[in-house]
Amino acid sequence: MKLSETYIDQARQTDIIEVIGRYIQLRRAGRQYVGLCPFHDEKTPSFFVTPGRGYYCFGCDAKGGNSIDFIMQKEKLSFPDAVIRLSGNVPDYSRFQHTKRIEIKPLQPQVVDYIPFEKIRLYLEDFKANNLFKFFVTRFGELVAEKTFKIYSIGTYSGLTLFPQTDLNGNIRQAKVIEYDPATGKRNRTKNPFHIGKQLTGSENLQKCFFGENLLKGNTLPVAIVESEKTAAISSIIYPQFVWIATGGKNGVNPANPENNRVLKNRIVHLFPDVDGVKTWKEYADDLQTQGFKVFLNDVMAEHAEPGSKDDIADLILKNEIILSENIFHVQWISEYKNLKTVWFIMDDRTNIEIIFGLDDYPLPYGEHESDVNWIEHRFNRKYEPALFDGETVYCYKF
Ligand code: ZN
């Protein structure tokens, strides 16, 4: 049997970025995409993919022109097998020239089930038995603790803390249970957190969402994303200028994934990775930027926490070791100006946005706009980098 030409063409034209993206994470760099080579071990990316032209690795010389080449090389398959692999693993005899054409049904969209609120409600009552609640009370008092638990619908599950994941439409997607120490507020690391969605519903079709996602509804506040649910809740008390949501840890929600980031559209997004997550979250930030999101990576943790430390941003805030710059909130203020043309602000490594320099419609502190640019370049011996903000030009000074 011989594969039909049309069939081969289809395989040849499969999106090479998507195909290679199943193996490695690709980051856009102009026309090209770059990532860690899937054919050799490396720490800095030397593998480049150009849509329409193919891929090339500067480290091991691996190269090819299209998705078929890649699959043959990566999976060590023959040409026809690679073509078949690219077309999915469903037996389909229309692939072969001498057989009759059979229609293939498109895949059904995935069904997502929810946890009925009644199944969760009974866990939302008894705060007194909740270790994390006890910790919140010692730090913030009972009133604030209770208010925060209610805002996030945090519950109690046999003394452990229950975090429902409620999506933008108010549907409960999953529920996670974590054990805490009441005195320190730290997670008990000898016991793994677990999800009880399946146990409550019997469903295999539950899908995670951000913890606190429902709080994005009905406001335009900037969004702050952290890893842990507890951190989101604590930070929301101290910095209510943000809507704080959580990915739910390393294996939680990937904020760069289009399935998840739909809820972040048209928002200003600040990412606050834990100290061991900065590298991965930098990739999330790049990925989100490529997708057109207004995203800022705040790696304040990298500067203030010990390497290998389990502290997260809430720990440092509670220890008074960091104070988030007030100026960070000006970004939101700027975005509210519809007639905004140009903004100048100074960025630094700690808070990303340190000083709002001036707006087109407002007097600048140092005279004319252009001369300000020159003045800053002269004063700090730095070139500005034009960047986009709200579709307009922004000049950022990185320190
Ligand atoms: Zn290579």
Span from the CA of 386 to the centroid of ligand 1 (angstroms): 33
Span from the CA of 373 to the centroid of ligand 1 (angstroms): 42
CATH code of 89's domain: 3.90.580.10
Q: What is the pTM of this model?
A: 0.58
The pLDDT value recorded for residue 306 is 73
Ligand 1 (single-atom ion) residues, CB below 5 Å: 37, 39-40, 57, 59-60, 62
Span from the CA of 35 to the centroid of ligand 1 (angstroms): 10
Shared domain for 311 and 331, answered yes or no, is: no
User: 166 in a domain, yes or no?
Assistant: no
Span from the CA of 66 to the centroid of ligand 1 (angstroms): 16
Shared domain for 32 and 61, answered yes or no, is: yes
Q: Which of 95, 118, 140 is the last residue of a domain?
A: 95
User: 345 in a domain, yes or no?
Assistant: yes
Q: What's the Cα-to-Cα distance from 150 to each of 154, 270, 280, rounded to whole Å?
A: 6, 24, 32
Span from the CA of 33 to the centroid of ligand 1 (angstroms): 14
The pLDDT value recorded for residue 175 is 96
Span from the CA of 44 to the centroid of ligand 1 (angstroms): 11
The pLDDT value recorded for residue 326 is 39
Successive 10-residue mean pLDDT values, the chain, 399 residues: 79 90 86 89 87 86 91 91 76 40 48 87 88 92 92 94 95 96 91 93 91 93 92 88 90 91 89 87 90 80 70 75 46 35 40 38 35 43 44 37
User: 100 in a domain, yes or no?
Assistant: no
Q: What residue numbers bound the domain in which 39 lies?
A: 5-95
Q: Which of 299, 323, 347 is the last residue of a domain?
A: 323
Q: How many domains does the chain have?
A: 4
Shared domain for 240 and 301, answered yes or no, is: yes
Span from the CA of 346 to the centroid of ligand 1 (angstroms): 39
User: 101 in a domain, yes or no?
Assistant: no
Span from the CA of 32 to the centroid of ligand 1 (angstroms): 16
The pLDDT value recorded for residue 323 is 52
Shared domain for 351 and 394, answered yes or no, is: yes
Span from the CA of 59 to the centroid of ligand 1 (angstroms): 5
Shared domain for 140 and 242, answered yes or no, is: no
- Taking the C-alpha atoms of residue 50 and residue 32, their distance in angstroms, rounded to an integer, is 5
Span from the CA of 282 to the centroid of ligand 1 (angstroms): 23
Shared domain for 245 and 218, answered yes or no, is: yes
CA dihedral 298, 300, 301, 306 (to 10 degrees): 150
Shared domain for 339 and 238, answered yes or no, is: no
The pLDDT value recorded for residue 13 is 86
Shared domain for 299 and 382, answered yes or no, is: no
Shared domain for 319 and 220, answered yes or no, is: yes
Shared domain for 333 and 303, answered yes or no, is: no
Shared domain for 286 and 192, answered yes or no, is: no
Q: Which of 307, 323, 339 is the last residue of a domain?
A: 323
